[in-house]
Amino acid sequence: MADNNEAGGAPPVARWMSPGAQCILSSVPVADVAAQMASKRHSCVVVIDDGRPVGLVSERDLVRELAAGKTGATAGDIMSAPLISIEEDRGIDTASQLMSERQIRRLVVVDDEGGVSGVVTQTDMMRAHIDQIERYQRSLEAQVAERTAELEATVEQLEALSRTDPLTGIGNRRAMEEAMAIAHQRSSRYKRTYSVILLDVDRFKAYNDTYGHPRGDRALRDIAGEVTGSIRVIDKAFRYGGEEILVLLPETGADGALAVAERIRRSVASRAIEHRSASQGVLTISAGIATSVPRPDGSIPGVLELLGAADDSLYQAKENGRNRIGPVGNPD
């Protein structure tokens, strides 16, 4: 059988042919041919000899013969010959090209043994080409949809990266500013309380001087991991700058913020990252806290006021000996 690759991967012509073509022997009288075609409503019949197709009798052939008033003619006398046929595994493009070149309206489709499989017409080819176009359009639409989804995923990844600190893997300053603005808006609109923790690695410059910046970077990543492991899913950690990390705690008052800050402090200390220049012999953190509580007049502290209060609280923790939590800052 012919290789369908020469049809460029197009659907085989057998898919579109009319199967079970009516076949007659070449010796059948024209009158009988006409009667059979009329009874079965076929527009043509395939003439065979020794089981092989040798010609085609169409309605036009019959009309022409009957109009001539001839009698005694057989199918073999009026058939169109030689027969133009196509193997059933050839593509529809090949069939269309053959019809165009031979200027014919029908093709007899044969199997790999040369027997008749069916007949394919120009109308069949038209339906096949329409289907091929529709399938191509569906394939193209699917490719476009897939590519669009890939691009959207890439954009989302890039967007996430633009808000992530590359060293620690937590949110960067831009992400922090956006999250703080949203928290402030919600607090202002719904009169909800939220808190922030501003923590700083104790004597980190001395650590870098002693162990080098690569180990300092690794220590920051480890501490960031301890922070994210100590907070809730709704809480967010951001690299505020240098060795400072800010934690945003929605729906959290002063007592809750103190508890979280203490949990982070203990988690970092228990990590036991060696620091020979520190009095404790390990890396520790100090933290400041501030809480946004609606004032009696309904107003709430601004973001900068809240950050300033947290920074003041952190300063007091440093002044009081480090490795501790400062008093809750007052944004007023």
* 278: DSSP letter: S
The amino acid sitting at 55 is: G
- Helices 204-211 and 213-228 meet at what angle, rounded to 10? 130
CB atoms within 10 A of CB 55: 20
Backbone conformation region of residue 8, classed left if phi is above 0, alpha if psi is from -120 to 50, else beta: left
138 three-class SS: helix
Q: Known catalytic residue: 177?
A: no
Token duo for residue 21? 């073509």
Among 65, 87, 226, 243, the one annotated catalytic: 243
Are 47 and 79 contacting, i.e. CB atoms less than 8 angstroms apart?
A: yes
Establish how many alpha carbons lie within 13 A of residue 21's alpha carbon, considering only the half-sphere containing its beta carbon: 31
Are 264 and 285 contacting, i.e. CB atoms less than 8 angstroms apart?
A: yes
Are 202 and 240 contacting, i.e. CB atoms less than 8 angstroms apart?
A: no
Token duo for residue 64? 């022409």
Q: Cis peptide before 82, with omega less than 30 degrees from 0?
A: yes
Q: What angle do CA 133, 139, 144 make, to 5 degrees?
A: 125
By annotation, the residues acting in catalysis are: 243
